[in-house]
Amino acid sequence: MTAMSIRDVTLFVDVVGHGYPLLLMHGGPGADHWTMLPLRRCADRFTLIFYDHRCNGRSQGAPVSTMTWESLTADADALRQTLGFERWAVLGHSFGGQVALEYALRYPHSLSHLVLLDTGGDSRWAQENAPEILAKRGYGPRTVRLARRFFNGQIAPQEMIPALMRFGRAYYHHPSILLLAREMLRGEWRTQTRPEALIFAGRHLLKGWTVMDRLGEINVPTLVLAGRDDFLFPPEHQVALASGITNACLRIIERAGHNAHSERPAEVVEAITDFISLHGHTGRGHLSLVPGVRQAALVPRRQQGLQALPRNGARWAG
């Protein structure tokens, strides 16, 4: 792990493994790369680049007001150049997936594959719809109101952790002491939260944000991957997200919530590995597809629930 000077900030970066480069964008906002630790098991197949977004985790050097889509994506691409990768695969979870979508739109020639894990292309799903789902799942009115304030940045910094304790179990299909213990042993106790990033994003960065009308501009092979019980970005949104991206593939993970990589790590890792291997790469990030063959025809049958989704004609087998 190291601190790297990138543009006007110091990013906290951890590069492990060997093989094709895969950038991992963590969720939040207000969390850090430790939330992505379950994907470390990919290190025998990929060079994994973990990092904390500006104003998140242990990254330092810039006020929270600089946490814009322009800066977040420019940081990522400057990191790519600094590490010497011509292109790389990019995976984003939750808020990190939203950064990844912006990155794919702003730097289309810098990535070879895009993996969107439990994320969305429109902020209203988290800011408006998620509290309603909590209500339908039996959470009380006070908790639902707290969740609405939380996702819209209308909380005080000291409320972040208590709020997560109130509705944190909703992030999982089956929350348990065993799961919590497993996450702590993996090192998630080291996560450094930054409430100011969550608050700023809810009030400014994510307010009214959407890329749903621009998804057709994304041309790299894309895997949309999500837990069946994700309350932030439920399956119906995953269908819309995958349908908007040309020849994207959709995989719904059963018995998983918003943190599918934590609850079902083996399935998620297999889906990511198979997807990137399926679409191939040569050299330092150059994509190599079979000439004249539609990507839909390349999806292996054994990957149940993984289908190509032609734009404006989506099929979904969750």
What percent of the chain has pLDDT above 90? 79
pLDDT grade for 175, boundaries at 50, 70 and 90: low
* pLDDT on residue 278: 87
pLDDT grade for 296, boundaries at 50, 70 and 90: very low
Instruction: Spell out the domain ranges in the chain.
Output: 2-125+205-309
- All residues at 6 or more sequence positions from 181 whose CB lies less than 8 Å from its CB, including other chains: none
3-state secondary structure 204-222: HHCCCCECHHHHHHCCCCE
CATH numeric code, 2-125+205-309: 3.40.50.1820
> Is the pLDDT at 38 greater than 70, yes or no?
yes
What percent of the chain has pLDDT above 70? 83
* pLDDT on residue 247: 82
Q: Is residue 5 exposed (0-12), middle (13-18) or buried (19+ Cβ within 10 Å)? A: exposed
In total, the chain counts a number of residues equal to: 318
What does the alpha-carbon distance between residue 225 and residue 100 come to, in Å, rounded to a whole number?
A: 14
Please compute the mean of the pLDDT values over residues 86-103 and round it to a whole number.
98
